Structure 1
């Protein structure tokens, strides 16, 4: 079994996936906030 050496693994794919997830989450939250504000303004 190979020894694990900290910091040698290529994590570029994981970093891109995480960045995409964060980007998707931010955009989704922004859409939800806009939708809630529109509902509050036009449903009063």
Structure 2
């Protein structure tokens, strides 16, 4: 049967988590700005 050890692995690397979170937030921010800019340009030039 499977072993049921109580090892939890390494401690969490908070610096790496924070770096990943900041990258994610930055990408969401710039992605949203890009989509809004595209929609505004479409409204100006296609309507």
Measured against the shorter chain, the TM-score band is: 0.7 to 0.9
Uncovered stretches (5+) of structure 1, i.e. residues with no partner: 3-7
Which ranges of structure 2 fall in alignment gaps of 5 or more residues?
1-5
Aligned residue for 2:26?
Answer: 23
Equivalent residues, number = 39
| Greater than 2 Å deviation, 4+ residue runs | none
Cα deviation for residue 10 of structure 1 reads: 3.8
For the pair shown, the structure with the greater C-alpha radius of gyration is 2
TM-score calculated relative to the size of structure 2: 0.72
Superposition RMSD in Å? 1.5
Query: Hey, what's the Cα distance between the residues in 1 that align with 2:20 and 2:13?
Result: 13
The two structures have a TM-score, normalised by structure 1, of 0.77
